[in-house]
Structure 1
């Protein structure tokens, strides 16, 4: 699939997304348009030997690299209770030694349900207003199977902990090795180990209370799982299902503490899946290429 210029302006997209979660007066004006409720955490990432073999990117060479993590609820209401059905997000930014950074964004839904920015906004509106869902599905019949798969996977269920959920990155990337060899890959962030904290967590912010207590009991680790595309697997279509069986452990995330909130005094942090470094290249996925435009518009709203 070759990317096309979207007819939907970023301004209109953000207007519609924010409206679907209530007028700005009803919620804080300085929050993200989606994944509004979240918190930051600190840790490191150490890549495996095969990652170094497949990509020359600085964070994939085997040395421990600092990372900043944000776990979040998917919607646009920053005060939603954690028990509410919602996609959960895990966004990670790798901080390379040369001062550059690159990001991975994952969500608990294993399948993406649309192919274009316009359809994504329509889906967001329909998900917030069930009366609109039948008409959406009539216009986008190919969304039915991914929605059923996400339901079977419990993508919207409130997890026991952010540390025990699996997060799927929507987009594919091209890894370029030191010798120039190219491989298309997809990421999954899988929980590996952690210590369950004592106590009961049942309040409206229970996921954040639980993960704070869990980190207090010891580190939380995740595996970066990478699937390498086989012939016929489409890296440019966010809805595509790859047949490749080449899946490997690309490295380990070790999260150790709650981070000081970099947005507490009005700062803005953006996790951008198009932020890449040498050794990684973007696909022509229309959703991926639209994201930075939408993020820029959302940041403008957040900064007034």
Structure 2
């Protein structure tokens, strides 16, 4: 953080190389009013640096806020995983970043959108990242569709405007989106603040204990502040009054010592049950019923420090689900497996191949990797040699003891370009229908109808509107009819 007392102490401005700067205010010219000279190297440095201040924003989750804190284990789950971060009594420093999904850097925090919930734990075994959302499901189950989906939620290439017709055209042609769209159009689509929303891994992961026994898990970070939401009209008003409403709320709360916290619970499925469960448990559009797999408390995360520089610590933060520490592995979730590649790849493009040397991404443990060189590398390889095998004491992965949890968890069988094999309850509308009928109360259902009708009312293609109404009738007949009536399409 810059020191406000620097001038009063008489400190001298320097160039980025530490050389005293010739002037803070005046360029070097020929005479008092003559042309500016190219050899005013300090002026050139300031202009060139300014021209390059921005890195490309994230294609998805561009607008966000972040804070540092700690995660403390409150329950013994060591029989389920040997991961250091989840061992009894362990307290681990961490970084959290919350975000909107579709909006750009300058977009309002209070637009209706899922919220990102990304966490980085600086464990004794290296960085462990969880990249999730404030909803337990997602719009699709196959990564082949992800790029098209995101483009349908962004801006029209002709007008540069957000377009409800594009959104509903994609959703109504993709029935697997129904569960997430029901969450999005309900109260959870507009959280009161980042502090008042839950976070979910959404994906299923594998835990491995010290004996090598495997289980499947889903993460639930339940807000200790209580869930709360913004009504649509209040969110619309706030979008015009304070585009950074959620970001400001988070930082103001931490600054006044009202540290937000979340309790982590997990659902645990025995490894063998996945093969015969009534729907695909790795389908990202589905939740596991709590009656089948109840929540088990693990610990609590608390955010207590605002970073001293937003760009360094939040904009350059790189979260990646491929950061899996011993005791935690992937599942056969196709979306997760694709993200194991795509997240590190986008960081290499956006902030450089050596992004892991940046402060928010740097592990708190020694790094003994054989990677070398590349743009902006500042830390030489700490390995004694830059190749393996070598005779000079370099590290060797073969010295690692115990089970490798990141190995493929099940027999992959024949590699095919295949769809999910359907199971008894593998339909797209059953779970969102249950959400509408069995979870929402009358007032929440009324808000859902109002939100959907308001959003659909901006669709300009009659065929898309008709298809969207059938989509909602497939979720729940009564709700679809009420939306149609609100649009005078009864």
Q: Same fold (TM over 0.5)?
A: yes
User: How many corresponding residue pairs?
Assistant: 268
- Which stretches of structure 1, 4 residues or longer, exceed 4 Å deviation after superposition? none
Instruction: Name the SS of the counterpart of 2:176 in structure 1.
Output: helix
C-alpha spacing 1:265/1:287, structure 2 compared with 1 (3 Å): closer
**Aligned-pair RMSD on alpha carbons?**
2.5
Q: 1:163 & 1:49 partners in 2: Cα distance? A: 23
Counterpart contact for 1:274–1:292, Cα < 8 Å: yes
2:62 alignment counterpart: 36
2:188 alignment counterpart: 155
Structure number with higher strand proportion? 1
Give a deviation string over 1:184-233, Cα, whole Å, max 9, x none.
Answer: 00011111149xxxxxx851111111111111232211111211126316
C-alpha spacing 1:144/1:90, structure 2 compared with 1 (3 Å): closer
2:252 alignment counterpart: 213
Give a deviation string over 1:67-104, Cα, whole Å, max 9, x none.
Answer: 11112222251111112222212211111124x01111
C-alpha spacing 1:145/1:160, structure 2 compared with 1 (3 Å): closer
2:133 alignment counterpart: 107
Q: 1:138 & 1:285 partners in 2: Cα distance? A: 23
Output aligned runs, 1:73-112, within 5 Å.
73-98=100-125, 100-112=126-138
Unaligned runs of 5+ in 1: 1-27, 195-200
Give a deviation string over 1:249-304, Cα, whole Å, max 9, x none.
Answer: 11100111112347439983311122111111111211111114322443344248
1:71 alignment counterpart: 98
Give a deviation string over 1:89-129, Cα, whole Å, max 9, x none.
Answer: 2211111124x011112212332121112222222222333
C-alpha spacing 1:80/1:262, structure 2 compared with 1 (3 Å): closer
C-alpha spacing 1:193/1:144, structure 2 compared with 1 (3 Å): closer
Q: 2:135 & 2:225 partners in 1: Cα distance? A: 21
Mapped pair 1:182 → 2:181: no
Unaligned runs of 5+ in 2: 1-53, 155-162, 227-237, 353-490
Higher relative contact order (CA 8 A, sep 6+): 1
Q: 1:156 & 1:261 partners in 2: Cα distance? A: 29
Output aligned runs, 1:184-199, within 5 Å.
184-193=216-225
Mapped pair 1:166 → 2:161: no
C-alpha spacing 1:181/1:265, structure 2 compared with 1 (3 Å): closer
Output aligned runs, 1:239-278, within 5 Å.
239-243=285-289, 244-261=292-309, 263-264=311-312, 268-278=316-326
Structure number with higher helix proportion? 2
